[in-house]
Amino acid sequence: AASSRTERFTVNFTMTNLSYSTSLRNPHSAHFIATSRGLSAMLDRVLKNSSISPAYRGCTSNVSSPRAKKDRDSTGVDAICSYRDEPSGPRFDRVAVYHQLRNMTNGFTKLGHYSLSSQSLYVNG
């Protein structure tokens, strides 16, 4: 019998209303931790309503590698998320997840209180 295994996928995007600061480079800073937790919770809410919901396990390592964009006016994010890949479960379809994220975030412009660059969303690519 085939068994399930945990697979990972990345969600990359840019927040246009979060200025990049040196505190976001430090994974132990209060600013980094609060931002990571908040973004993980917001991504969770969206992904739990997507087609991979039954297999979705959450965003592990929360938000990683924030980076300065456009003269530090905005911050890029790489979220590492995971799902359980089971023979009987839904297949992970990055295109479907991409479109669902776009649809559930107003054309990928809003995630909670964050404004997003609509052209910045990548799912596993």
- pTM: predicted TM-score of the whole model, two decimal places: 0.83
Give, for 104, the enclosing helix (H) or strand (E).
helix 94-104
Can you read off the two tokens belonging to residue 24? Answer: 């976001």
- Inform me whether the pLDDT recorded for 50 exceeds 50: yes
- Inform me whether the pLDDT recorded for 3 exceeds 90: no
In b/e form, how buried is each residue of 73-90, taking b as 16+ CB within 10 angstroms? ebbbbebebbbebeeeeb
Dump pLDDT digits (tens) for 63-94: 545 555 556 678 888 888 988 888 776 678 88
In the chain, the domains with their CATH numbers are: 5-124 (3.30.70.960)
Q: What is the largest CA-CA distance in the chain?
A: 53
For residues 109-118, give the mean pLDDT. 91
pLDDT of residue 62: 46
